[in-house]
Amino acid sequence: MAAVATARLLATQPPGRIRSVLTWLRRGATPAGYQQALAARDAVTAVSMVCRGARGCVPRSVATALVCRASGVWPTWYVGVRRVGPFAAHAWVEADGVMVGEHELAGYFRPLIAVPPEGATVSGATVS
């Protein structure tokens, strides 16, 4: 619940600030595995109606990353847009190269900002 409350506050900030905070928080974490990230996402959606909703992608993805971080791991956090119209922005996390808990097919979104685990590389997005 603390991660959700923190994520809801952080989600009101500009994307650059969110990226800066998450970049700082990921320090020292190891890469999250898919099952670890999925368990974190499930915990977040179990306690928050906002994070469970269709428009709760930013707080849901940030809270998922925060829950992962509390366990010593870090997924890749993304913000991007749909590749096909109509325009829509979305935020999500990936682990083991797979979107965690999302229903869209791989490649459906074009990443614009990414905060991967330290030392990891991501193509096609501004990386911190």
**What digits encode the pLDDT tens for the residues 88-111?**
999 999 999 999 999 998 889 999
2 pLDDT above the threshold of 70: yes
Cα separations in angstroms, 19 against 9, 13, 15, 76: 14, 10, 6, 11
Q: Which helix (H) or strand (E) segment is 110 a member of?
A: strand 109-115
The string of pLDDT tens digits covering residues 59-82 is: 999 999 999 999 999 999 999 999
- Give me the residue spans of the domains in the chain: 2-127
The pLDDT score that the predictor gives to residue 58 is 97
The string of pLDDT tens digits covering residues 28-37 is: 999 999 999 9
126 pLDDT above the threshold of 80: no
The pLDDT score that the predictor gives to residue 54 is 86
Q: Encoding tokens for residue 20?
A: 């800066």
The pLDDT score that the predictor gives to residue 90 is 95
Query: Which amino acid type is present at position 20?
Result: S
